[in-house]
């Protein structure tokens, strides 16, 4: 069983439309659709926006559906100048940028008992890049792919100073509002995870308008990648990659 989470309706709709043998249930206020996607057993949930919603949804999915691995997929704001709407970011790491214990001499994003940057499962990152190639190689207007850090916080970033800070402080490629909370929860449960995002905007002064205009296209791109990713992610993980406590 693979757990898949998106924050907004648009981010889960396309996957849900292609599922068969669907069953729907509501837990902790979150609707989870379980069934098959291209023959793979999945549980798909719409978490709602922000880190608290993402945390509750992820823990509920882990406890009730017992996934072997989890993927968060959706849209994000880009942080580098030459990025285009629709480009895909596969997170190698996620960071909770608004965790602030700097009063105690810690760096932004750092909290006791956890690395500042939370690493996504390397084999799922590799599978996501393979899925990208399978989905977009040779296609007209294909998006670009970038691997790197995704910075999460409870704020829609529409501010040049903030976006530059996220880039400088964390070497982040993109920002969104759930990935690090999801990743932290998976990490505490010893489960492999990855975050996959398509860019809807560039986090600057026009971000909210760009977000609305590009949301559909960005969701289509992340859906095309997920179509290829789900069968790959469901395949057996290499043994040496499994950590103690990992299912």
> Which positions are annotated as active-site residues?
11, 201
> Shortest distance, CB of residue 214 to ligand ADE, whole angstroms?
9
d(CA 220, CA 129): 17
According to CB under 6 A, which one of 54, 57, 69, 75 is a site residue for ligand ADE?
75
Q: Which of 229, 228, 158 is nearest to 193 (CA)?
A: 229
Residue 91 tokens, joined: 């997170």
164 and 95 in contact (C-beta within 8 Å)? no
Is 83 a binding residue for ligand ADE by CB under 6 A? The answer is no
According to CB under 6 A, which one of 10, 87, 110, 176 is a site residue for ligand ADE?
176
> Shortest distance, CB of residue 94 to ligand ADE, whole angstroms?
13
> Shortest distance, CB of residue 235 to ligand ADE, whole angstroms?
30
| CB of 165 or CB of 188, closer to ligand ADE | 165
Question: What is the phi-psi region of residue 243: left when phi exceeds 0, alpha when psi lies from -120 to 50, beta otherwise?
Answer: beta
Stretch that binds ligand ADE, among 57-65, 136-144, 171-179, 233-241 (CB under 6 A): 171-179
6 and 12 in contact (C-beta within 8 Å)? yes
> Shortest distance, CB of residue 153 to ligand ADE, whole angstroms?
8
Is 211 a binding residue for ligand ADE by CB under 6 A? The answer is yes
| CB of 34 or CB of 202, closer to ligand ADE | 202
How many residues bind to ligand ADE according to rule CB under 6 A? Answer: 13
d(CA 150, CA 187): 16
According to CB under 6 A, which one of 32, 33, 61, 76 is a site residue for ligand ADE?
76
Residue 11 tokens, joined: 């981010």
According to CB under 6 A, which one of 34, 73, 200, 221 is a site residue for ligand ADE?
200
Residues 6+ apart with CB under 8 A from 212: none
Nearest residue to ligand ADE on Cβ basis: 77
> Shortest distance, CB of residue 29 to ligand ADE, whole angstroms?
21
The counts of H helices and E strands in the chain are: 6, 10
Site string for ligand ADE, 118-157 (x = CB under 6 A): --------------------------------------xx
DSSP code of residue 120: P
Q: Strand (E) positions, the chain?
A: 2-6, 20-27, 30-37, 40-46, 69-78, 88-96, 118-119, 145-152, 172-176, 193-201
Is 79 a binding residue for ligand ADE by CB under 6 A? The answer is no
Range 148-162 burial, b when 16+ CB lie within 10 A, else e: bbbbbbeebbbeeeb
Which residues of this protein are in contact with ligand ADE, per CB under 6 A?
Answer: 75-77, 156-157, 175-177, 200-201, 203, 207, 211
């Amino acid at each position: 069983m693979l757990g898949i989470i998106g924050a907004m309706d648009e981010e889960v709709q396309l996957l849900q439309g292609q599922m068969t043998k669907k069953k729907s249930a509501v837990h902790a206020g979150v609707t989870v659709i379980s069934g098959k996607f291209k023959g793979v057993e999945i549980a798909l949930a719409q978490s709602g926006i922000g880190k608290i919603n993402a945390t509750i949804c992820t823990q509920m999915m882990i406890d009730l559906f017992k996934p072997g691995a989890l993927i968060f997929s959706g849209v994000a704001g880009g942080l580098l100048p030459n990025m285009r709407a629709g480009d895909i970011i596969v997170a190698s790491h996620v960071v909770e940028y608004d965790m602030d214990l700097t009063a105690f001499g810690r760096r932004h994003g750092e909290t006791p008992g956890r690395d500042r940057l939370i690493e996504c499962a390397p084999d799922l990152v590799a599978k996501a890049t393979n899925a990208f190639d399978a989905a977009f190689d040779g296609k007209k207007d294909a998006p670009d792919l970038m691997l790197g850090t995704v910075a999460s916080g409870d704020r829609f970033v529409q501010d040049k100073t903030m976006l530059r800070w996220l880039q400088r402080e964390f070497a982040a490629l993109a920002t969104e509002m759930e990935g690090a909370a999801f990743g932290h929860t998976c990490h505490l449960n010893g489960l492999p995870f990855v975050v996959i995002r398509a860019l809807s905007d560039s986090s600057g002064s026009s971000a909210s308008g760009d977000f609305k205009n590009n949301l559909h296209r960005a969701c289509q791109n992340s859906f095309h990648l997920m179509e290829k990713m789900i069968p790959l992610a469901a395949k057996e993980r290499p043994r040496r990659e499994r950590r103690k406590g990992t299912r």
